[in-house]
Structure 1
Amino acid sequence: MPVESQNVSSARKTLSLLALALGTFAIGTSEFASMGIIQLFSASLGVSVTEATGAVTAYAFGVIVGAPVITLAAARVNRRTLLLALMALFVVGNILSALASGLGYFSIARFISGLPQGAYFGAGAMIASHILGASNAGKAFAVVMAGLTVSTIFGSPIATFLGQTFGWRETYLAISAIGLAALAAIFAMVPRSKALDGVSVLQELSALRRGAVWAVLASAAIGVGSIFAVYAFIGPFVTDLAQLDPSLIAVALALFGIGMTVGNSIGGRIADKDPVRGVVIGFGSALGVLAVLALGAASPVILFPGLFGVGATMMIAIPSIQVRMTRFAPEAPSLVGAMTLAALNLANAVGAEGGAAAIELGFGLSSAIWAGFALTAIGLAMFLISTMRR
């Protein structure tokens, strides 16, 4: 007999949420670790760091493609069952990443690794909302995102350390092991419930007929790009711009992750009260931090607090983006959750490629931060215009 959510103890609900967060922790570690070890696998595969950015972009496009395709293809599948299948695919993608022999094969493996992410966050947010109650959609999404933000504190720095100590291939094998642990935890802890059954494809697709949904997606895909314009080049910022020891890359990654975790927690609270305010506060304060960081990143006194600030301010906006999406299309929670993650990973591609392009044009490493500043300014303007029109 299925176990319904209302009959599950408080402790079991907590364990269920932790299981969901462990899955996003594995996903986040896989995504962000690639940026921390980009100098390692680029050297091993015989390409430049900017060329190796293509593998980071391939992962992001995997998310962009997988979010709508998998969510719609599995529209009627129970969300718990879907999560298990998605984590299995994630493990396979990371094993293939560890075995890749060239940049082309590695990029394909990263694309496969990214396919489950958007659908996982969409289904996971639906399960978390079911557990916490529909009125706490912002907190529910923040719980699911918490695994990702914590991965930037512990997962990515530890993975970077593993890569520097044992090799970048071992990093992806370790990530695969975390994915297997998450799969087991979801199987054991997330309750079976008919309330988590899927809906028709047409019901999910109804969200895509709303212009307001596309407006929020567009502003997120552009505005959040600054996170990745900065994060993709944290290693070079530390070693080349600030002239610090490579061992401090892990510290920089952890500070960025702590900022993201703090911002996510604050953003989850604001989102349930006033999501418009949450986006404006997040994007607006990020612009100030980005400007200071771009001007003073060569100094550790500016670099490290600035990395914390970028992570914190941008993450304040993200739960509000999800809640805004859900309010525009409440009948399609899985698809809007997946599309939110797709937009964030389009931001990943736009930010990383924008930062790389600025550097390639000869404007210096700090130009990647200015590229992020421009993206967030455009995203904020788009959001304000679309909000005022409504």
Structure 2
Amino acid sequence: MTDDDAVLLRTDGHAAHLVLNRPRAINALNHAMVKRIAGALTAWERDPAVATVVITGAGERGLCAGGDIRAIHADAAAGTTASAAFWRDEYRLNAHIARFSKPYVAVMDGIVMGGGVGVSAHGGVRVVTERSRVAMPETGIGFVPDVGGTWLLSRAPGELGTHLALTGAAVGAGDALLCGLADHCVPADRLPEVLAALATDGAQDVVKRYARPAPAGELADHRSWIDHCYGAGTVEEIVGRLLDSGEPAAKEAAQTILTRSPVALKVTLAALRRTAELRTLEEALEQEYRVSCAALSSPDLVEGIRAQVIDKDRAPRWSPPTLGEVTAEQVERFFAPLAGTAGAAGPGGTEFAHVFE
């Protein structure tokens, strides 16, 4: 498969289509795909014949399972910087999607995780189906939510975003709508009709015409303990509240969190709290860029991908292995300016403003 084959571009009437085309990898994104999507969006934004852009995924399994983490593992293990270049272009793409001047319809059918959220949930018209499973599962591989995930999750109702970020839990259509990750639910078997109608009709009109009530979610019924437990100031206190709540689902969440990278958990909580105070998605992406680049030199990223994807033994050896051993200095390192850059290390710093020029 060539780089061009991995993202298919076509037009149908007034609609331009991006089709992620790596179905065997659930359309995982690599650097070439990001560049091809970015180039197409720039061209279509200037093309008066294009009224709507639509992104879908090839195959039956999902829109996109995330970034190509095998490549990130190889890069981190070798101590090289290819991943930093990939993230720079990927985060620029996320920002472009968020401010795209024409309707951008994201068909979030099936699995939509990590980088898949980045190319969909920032769009103007976000469609889920009864098959959707949406997640930011980064803490399970020793990483931290990126692609604007901290921006999206920090703005979910109450502490729902904190729950999803720390556990990495996948949600269905109803909960994706509740958390602000999607706008409409369309039955999967009606998607071909939606795509055909977009050739001639306006995006919002088409999607509303086919939208139906989403299958019931689970999170609304858990808001009381989620908001109380995840409102704590530290990950340790969150886990303690979850275990003490008496709710079986809360205990299960605590047990899940305790399998995740302790460093990634603490950095994720700090990132969410900082992002909640930021003014723009671009500021959040700048912060995520610092965090992601720092993660490249963290042993947990290499180890997490090894355990979950390379060897698949599901037994990561985190360093340090417990939450109590993670120091404030270790967490703060993820938010510091990168070597060779100027600007403040705090939230909203401008040292990466050039990323969004």
TM-score after normalising by structure 1: 0.29
Which structure shows the bigger proportion of residues in strand conformation? 2
Return the structure number with greater relative CO, CA threshold 8 A, min gap 6. 1
TM-score after normalising by structure 2: 0.31
Which structure shows the bigger proportion of residues in helix conformation? 1
